[in-house]
Amino acid sequence: MTAIAEPDTSQRTAALAERLRAAVGTERVLTDRTQVRTYECDGLANFKVTPAIVVLAENRQHVVDTVRLCSEAGVPFVARGSGTGLSGGALPRADGVLLVTSRLRSIGAVDADNRQVTVEPGVINLWVTRDATPFDLAYAPDPSSQLVCSIGGNVAENAGGAHCLKYGFTVNHVLGAEVVLPDGEVVHLGGRAPEHPGYDLLGAFIGSEGTLGVATELTLRLIRVPEAVQTMLVGYRSVEDAAGTVSDIIAAGIVPAAVEMMDALAIEAAEAAVSCGYPEGAVAVLVIELDGPEVEVEAQFRQVEEIARRRNAFETRIAADAAERALMWKGRKSAFAAVGRISPSYFVQDGVIPRTKLPEVLAEIDRMADERGLRVANVFHAGDGNLHPLVLFDDAVEGQAHEAEELAGAILELCITSGGSITGEHGVGQEKRMKMGKQFTAEDLDTMQLVRCAFDPDGIANPGKVFPTPRLCGERPGVHKGEHPVQAAGLGEVF
């Protein structure tokens, strides 16, 4: 923030706060510094910004009014659900409005015949499956934070979870959305039926990290609960054997519902936190889940056991019931938080590599960590190559946080050079926007900006996220290279 801009900003936001209070009610607009500080970060706590104004919306009209008033005042807004995002996607703006949608929590009736349900964005992920269970239906996307994360946030980040391998990620399970565009206009993208004529703007909106508007209602696809589910936990003495098992399963033509991997450090952390009783002495474990018709699951389960055995698995446990299955998953799903037990601090990364590159990339991560004298715990969705390296460090040690951050960044670049992506489910957000230029060319990013400019010509929806080198909407792609002269002169930044 520049010294000149500050007084203007505060006057502008003070005036906006008054108008917001009149529109949505005084009690829903927070400007008190101690109150708004509650919202200064999301799940990525190393970035913190205190928002000028927080609006606690309770219905669609509150969202529309807030966005429209922001648009009229030219003040940026950032939408936020439960705040569990891990890339700083919901990091507020000091000169803007943080629009909280977590109070929009109504769930429509489950339409069992059409296998769908319409919900508001603040609905918690797991509530959808809870409501669908009596109809033998479920909502497939299951981020590890599914107990607390909101659907609106899942849609913004296109957050997937462990079962993406078979069921696809959030974008494959959202049929329609009611969206408040950055000028306050309400549009309906997709719907309850497939194949709505026109551009698939819903597909572009999902995963756009709050830069194209705010969803106020979402129609979700539900899946039929499969006839059978079987989960096994397999222990290995080497990471290579565990990774090799994953490749062999896929090569055998089996598409598991999930294949999750944890290395020794991640296992140690999970044990310390939740005593999940993983095989003793394991250097790596896999949690493999198959689902589908019973006869299929049984036959393929036997095949997977055989593959694991050939890959030198020393212990295989099969969950006898739902409770045992839950315990296997508990270790995996609590692994991030558990790392706090074995290290004062850590960075969690979210990169993707082609599955066949798993063994060499994991070895390279090890080498890179050793070189810097740091430890990296690996816990990830092995089936689709979505790595979650946790870079451990001690912030009491001078310079170690910086070293760890550099290592985390180097791992992401390794993902890119291996043919992968900088994010599989957490999003780009604030954290990884400077890496976008490594994965995409300037032309690619300019083309994405065309979409951005169509939705948000004034650039007020979550500006400063996702894109590394923002451009002004009047520009043509491929024409201007490098920094725009207006930006270079410090005269303006639209994104």
Partner 1 sequence: MTAPTVTRRAGGPDDAVGGVAPREVVRPGTVEEVADVLRAAAADGLTVVPVGGRSKLTWAAPPSSCDLLLDVTGLDRVVEHVAGDLTVVAEAGVRLADLQAQLGQAGQLLGLDPPEDGATLGGVVSANASGPRRLHYGTTRDLLIGTTVVLADGTVAHAGGKVVKNVAGYDLGKLYTGAHGTLGVVVSTTWRLHPVPPARRLVTLELPDVAAAGPLSVALARSTLTPSAVELIGTAGGPGRLVVLFESIAESVTDQARATVALLGGGEESEELPADLGRRPGGADDVLLRLAHVPAALSPVLRALPAGTAVAAHAATGVSYAAVPAGEAVDVLPRLRAAVAEHDGTAIVLRAPEGLVDRLDHWGPVGDALDLMRRVKERFDPERRMSPGRFVGGL
Scanning residues 280 to 319, which ones bind partner 1 (CB under 8 A)? 292-293, 295-296, 299-300
Rounded CA-CA distance 289/283 in Å is: 20
**Restricting to residues 88-147, which ones interact with partner 1 according to CB under 8 A?**
111-116, 136
Minimum gap (Å) between residue 420 Cβ and partner 1: 5
**Minimum Å distance from CB 50 to partner 1?**
28
Closest approach, Cβ 72 to partner 1, in A, equals 19
Among residues 77, 346, 393, 455, which is the contact residue for partner 1, using CB under 8 A?
455
Considering only residues 476, 481, 482, 490, which one is a binding residue for partner 1 as defined by CB under 8 A? Answer: 476
CB closer to partner 1, 82 vs 154: 154
Rounded to the nearest whole angstrom, what is the least distance from the CB of residue 329 to partner 1 in the complex? 19
Please report, to the nearest 10 degrees, the dihedral formed by the alpha carbons of residues 32, 38, 44, 49 taken in order: 10
Nearer to partner 1 by Cβ, of 331 and 351: the residue is 351
Please state the closest distance from residue 249 (CB atom) to partner 1, in A.
11
Smaller CB separation from partner 1, 65 or 431: 431
Q: Could you say whether residue 186 binds partner 1 (CB under 8 A)?
A: yes
- Give the residue, chosen from 17, 44, 75, 181, that forms a contact with partner 1 under the rule CB under 8 A: 181
| Cβ at position 129, least distance to partner 1 in Å | 17
To partner 1, the closest distance from the beta carbon of 246 in angstroms equals 10
**Secondary structure of the chain as H, E, C letters:** CCCCHHHHHHHHHHHHHHHHHHHHCHHHEECCHHHHHHHCCCCCCCCCCCCCEEEECCCHHHHHHHHHHHHHHCCCEEEECCCCCCCCCCCCCCCCEEEECCCCCCECCCECCCCEEEECCCCEHHHHHHHHHHHCEECCCECCCCCCCEHHHHHHHCCCECCHHHHCCHHHHEEEEEEECCCCCEEEEECCCCCCCCCCHHHHHCCCCCCCCEEEEEEEECEECCCEEEEEEEEECCHHHHHHHHHHHHHCCCCCCEEEEEEHHHHHHHHHHHCCCCCCCCCEEEEEEEEECHHHHHHHHHHHHHHHHHCCCCEEEECCCHHHHHHHHHHHHCHHHHHHHCCCEEEECCEECCHHHHHHHHHHHHHHHHHHCCEEEEEEEHHHCEECEEEEECCCCCCHHHHHHHHHHHHHHHHHHCCCECCCCCCCCCCCHHHHHHHCCHHHHHHHHHHHHHHCCCCCECCCCCCCCCCCCCCCCCCCCCCCHHHHCCCCCCC
What's the closest the beta carbon of residue 250 comes to partner 1, in angstroms?
Answer: 6
Closest CB to partner 1 among 74 and 199? 199
- Name residues contacting partner 1, limited to 220-249 (CB under 8 A): 224-227, 247
For partner 1, the closer CB: 74 or 419:
419
Nearest of 161, 129, 130 to residue 144 by alpha carbon: 161
Cβ neighbours of 103 (radius 10 Å): 14
* Nearest distance from C-beta of residue 484 to partner 1, angstroms: 17
Least distance (Å) from partner 1 to the CB of residue 25?
A: 27
Structure tokens at 292: 């589908």
| Mask for 397-436, x = binds partner 1 (CB under 8 A) | ----------------------xxxxxxxxxx---x---x
- Which of 37, 38, 168, 334 binds partner 1 (CB under 8 A)? It is 168
Q: In the set 127, 184, 477, 480, which binds partner 1 (CB under 8 A)?
A: 477
* Residues 142-161, interacting with partner 1 (CB under 8 A): 157-160
**Site string (190-209) toward partner 1, x via CB under 8 A:** -xxxxxxxxxxxxxx-xxx-
Selected binder of partner 1 within 417, 447, 483, 492 (CB under 8 A):
447
The one among 23, 73, 94, 255 contacting partner 1 by CB under 8 A: 255
Residues between 352 and 381 that touch partner 1 (CB under 8 A): 352-356, 381
Give the total of residues touching partner 1 (CB under 8 A).
95
Residue 441 CB, nearest distance to partner 1 (Å)?
Answer: 7
Identify the residue among 18, 450, 483, 492 touching partner 1 (CB under 8 A). 450
